[in-house]
Amino acid sequence: MTDRPVPLDEYPVHQAPLSMRYVATSDRNAYDRCIFHVFDHHGRALLILGLGVYPNTGVIDAFATLRLGDRLHAVRASDALTDDRMRMAVGPFTITVDAPLERFTLRCDADPADPEALSYDLTWQGDFPPLWEPHHTMRRGDRLILEGRRFVQAGTPGGVIRVRGEEIAVGGGEWTGTRDRSWGVRPIPGEDGGRSGEEHIPEGFHWLWCPVRFEDRFVMVLVQEDADGYRTTGDAVEVRTGRPDAQLGWPHADITYRSGTRHPERAVIHLTDRNRKPLELTAEILASSPLSVGAGYPPADEWSHGTWRGRGWCDRRVYDLSDPAAHPLAAFGVTDHAARFTLDGATGYGIFEHGSFGRHDPSGFTGYDSVAP
- Angle at the Cα of 156 (from 150 to 132), degrees rounded to 5? 20
| Residue 238, pLDDT score | 98
The rounded distance, in Å, linking the Cα atoms of 322 and 69 is 9
| φ and ψ at residue 164, rounded to 5 degrees | 55, 30
Q: What is the DSSP letter of 360?
A: B
In a domain, 157, yes or no: yes
Q: What is the average per-residue pLDDT within 239-267?
A: 96
Instruction: Give me the domain span that covers residue 351.
Output: 31-363
The SS3 assignment for 60 reads: strand
Q: How far apart are the first and last CA of the chain?
A: 61
The rounded distance, in Å, linking the Cα atoms of 50 and 331 is 22
Q: Are 335 and 288 in contact (CB under 8 A)?
A: yes
CB count, 10 Å around CB of 368?
Answer: 12
In a domain, 26, yes or no: no
CB count, 10 Å around CB of 11?
Answer: 9
The rounded distance, in Å, linking the Cα atoms of 250 and 112 is 51
Q: Looking at per-residue confidence, does 143 or 285 come out higher?
A: 285
Closest CA to 145 of 193, 190, 181: 193
The rounded distance, in Å, linking the Cα atoms of 207 and 201 is 17
The rounded distance, in Å, linking the Cα atoms of 76 and 295 is 8
Q: What is the DSSP letter of 298?
A: T
Closest CA to 266 of 286, 280, 237, 289: 286
The rounded distance, in Å, linking the Cα atoms of 137 and 148 is 7
Q: How many residues does the chain have?
A: 373
| Residue 207, pLDDT score | 98
Q: Are 114 and 133 in contact (CB under 8 A)?
A: no
In a domain, 118, yes or no: yes
| Residue 200, pLDDT score | 87
User: What is the DSSP pairing of strand 131-132 with strand 119-126?
Assistant: unpaired
pLDDT at 193 over 90: no
Cα-to-chain-centroid distance, residue 249? 24
Q: What is the DSSP letter of 111?
A: B
In a domain, 23, yes or no: no
The rounded distance, in Å, linking the Cα atoms of 206 and 186 is 18
In a domain, 65, yes or no: yes
Burial of 33 (0-12, 13-18, 19+ CB in 10 A): buried
Confidence of residue 1 (pLDDT cuts 50, 70, 90): low
In a domain, 51, yes or no: yes
Q: What is the average per-residue pLDDT within 341-356?
A: 98
The rounded distance, in Å, linking the Cα atoms of 118 and 110 is 7
In a domain, 85, yes or no: yes
133: which strand partners?
Answer: none
The rounded distance, in Å, linking the Cα atoms of 210 and 17 is 37
The SS3 assignment for 195 reads: helix
pLDDT in tens, 7-66: 999 999 999 999 999 999 999 999 999 999 999 999 999 999 999 999 999 999 999 999
Alpha helices (H) along the chain: 194-199
| Residue 2, pLDDT score | 63
Confidence of residue 324 (pLDDT cuts 50, 70, 90): confident
Predicted model pTM: 0.96
- Angle at the Cα of 137 (from 334 to 249), degrees rounded to 5? 80
pLDDT at 192 over 90: no
Give the chain's domain count.
Answer: 1
pLDDT in tens, 261-300: 999 999 999 999 999 999 999 999 999 999 999 999 999 9
The rounded distance, in Å, linking the Cα atoms of 179 and 310 is 28
CATH of residue 205: 2.40.370.10
Q: What percentage of residues in the chain have a pLDDT greater than 90?
A: 91
Closest CA to 138 of 202, 181, 46, 79: 202
In a domain, 22, yes or no: no
Q: What is the DSSP letter of 5?
A: -
